[in-house]
Structure 1
Amino acid sequence: MRFGPVYLFYFCLFLLIWIAPIDTSSFIKVVASFILISLLVLISIGKEKGRRLATNQCSNYSSISSVFNFSFTYKNIAVFVAGQLILVMYAGHYYTGLDPVSAVSMYFSGVATYTNYQQWFSDNSLAIFSLSKIPPILSLGVLKLTFVMTLSRLIAFSSEKGIRLIFKVLLVCIPIVLFSIYRGTSFEFFDIGIAVLCFYYLRWQRNLSLYSAPRFRLKNYLYIFGFASILLAIYNYNVQLRYDFNYRVSCSNEFCLDTDALIYQAFPGIGMVLFKITAYFYFGLDYLARFLIHVFDDLSILVELFLPFQGLLQSDFYPKFLCQEGVLRCGPTWSPRLEKEILNLGFLLSSILIMLVAIVYGFIERKLSKTADVELASLYFFMSLYLLSLPVGDFLFVSSANVLSLLAILLLILLKKVKI
């Protein structure tokens, strides 16, 4: 657990590359692994540099510092959840046309709320910006901001523990879960999972600094395994909903189901779940591997992508451009953040950017081992999302709620005059 959420996520991606029952070539898997390991090395170097810088500045432990003070009595949690539910019902109705009772009823009766969400979104032209979108966008921004700050304070810095802590975390997550049900999407559960992992890691790290002894026991790993299993089960259910519980394997990407794979032969159910998540969590690495091969096959493209701003200067370079050029089939998949950074900044500057982000990330992580700062902990979560998104998608900037929350966090830190 010493290595933190980014290392754990990358390790899981590495396992997915080699275990998932997909029929892509071993060479592509090797290149994808090389990219993943290279990113991890770059992040590790920057992170350790940041931790060393913070060690020289952090000497004394401090009490909780935050402009967001909150006592975790059940009464306060009930008021907080009620306020968030109002935001969710308003935004949920705007984006789906449903009331909460209808959304929950549809979801648990096997009707795909995702299909309704997509149809309503299209019929009402919600993809086009208008002034009427500002209130629901702000509502989701406030929802995300207060959720992350509350969860960070509850998990990372409160004295709550055991079953009481787990129960209160579940209560705080109710509004986010409801919004997921409104839309029929799993991304909200991914957000919850990463937030819980980040803040539990900060809690463990703080205990390690305070008590000079590891307090992360076997039962904690069992909690993580159980929590991850629940998230995968929810994801699988959401996929089944979209296909009216008649899911059939398709090959819209460059890889198809490999029924001869060891995991599929030994555990077909687990193998099928892993195959389903490859469209989200493996495709980015597969694409980056083919992107790298494509770039190194053409010296002119390689030279151009060492220079910055090619994505702005040349119309030939845009996210997932290999898909449009017919180099590979992509289907409805995410565009890895790393590709966007390379197209915008070039190989060299994008590497420097990742290194700088990792330095700040390591600095904050070390600082939070002795400073109970809710805003910094919240920033740590958003920076984790960025680092996780590099080989997979664009978890941070694809959501207006995330962007607004991040800006608000930075503003709060600036107002507190915290030097990062």
Structure 2
Amino acid sequence: MLRRVGTGSRWHSSGLVGAFKPTLAQVRLTQSSIRLLQDLESKGRPTGWKQCGSLLLARTRDRMTVYRRMKSQSVSWGIPCELVTPKKCQELWPLLNVDDVLGGLWIPGDGVGDPHLLCMALMKECIENVIRDPDGYIYLRERDGCILAGGFEPIAKPVYEEEITSMAQRCVPEDWDHFHVLLQQLLKRVPSLSQAVLHKLCNGLEAFSPDCKWIVGEAPEMFNYHVAAGMKTVGISAAGGVAEATADEIVDGYTKYDMYELGVHYGLPYPFHEFETGRNLRLSPIYPTLRDNGAVFGQVMGYERPTWFETLDPKDPPDKPRPFKVAYTKTFNKPHWFDTVQREYWACRERVGLADYSSFTKIDIQVHDDSADNTTNAVQGVDEAPPPSQRVSDPL
């Protein structure tokens, strides 16, 4: 259900559509959005899509190193781009001051559009080139004969510390002191802006997730409830691809995109990781006996092996069926199975324990003379064979 189209941060969005994103999944979704806009335009529907390209500027050698890596990565990701000199940067955008610019990355496939018309009629008018200056935290673009300039301050201010306001009050009051750091960078990059007349200062909010990745997928707490949020200013770029992936999941239950890293989950990398799917497939001959006696299983190469044994309730009937349980360890501290394993250790050490080695690899060596000991010693890397009453385990 769409409660309202175009709410959130879209109303004050700059409308930039850039293909380069941190991960391949995000790149593929954005490329799908661009293809959607191009297809609508070719069918005569005014979308306002203009492939005007974007120019990323570098003030430092480290930033240029990042751009060189992006250029190399673009080959496998299929994003046309080129490294350009400061002179070429100024040719692409004549208003730029390039005195402190070392170079840039020109991405001709990027474009722009109108956020409101994208939501209502999938964009409309043609707009000029986009300029991004990551070292200055700013971007600039032409819009309706004016310059739309904005950015992301390096040190953000907290809002709604007392309570969260309604969706209708998403624009916070003007804060010229906080905007000053961005204004300095804008005037440095385009000196002629000092003579411009200010139309409006918009202090809007953007949605960022805790790990700074989009949140796309089905909510784990509610079946068939799908989320697409936390776009951190690239909702316009990702809209088409995210809509396609979400529609695929709703209709078919899956999508052709690898959406795992964008899923609605924040699982921690606890020790002793266990897979959740593909379980209970490769089993020991005595697996039912192990399971019915409280075994909790971990898998090794697909084989289910007992990791520890839960204490059974003496009130349960002997023939009570036991479910298959996975040996999860969801803590960095003392695990819940510690005392159980300690009791099992002392039971095996001081009394008798039986281990199921049916999933282990076994090699039978047969010889017709007295060289069997020498053969096994060579394989195991030991000097002499153990006595008949002992067993030696060696990695192969």
Name the TM-score, length of structure 1 as normaliser.
0.20
Higher relative contact order (CA 8 A, sep 6+): 1
Structure ID, larger Rg: 2
Comparing both structures, which one devotes a greater share of its residues to strand? 2
Name the TM-score, length of structure 2 as normaliser.
0.21
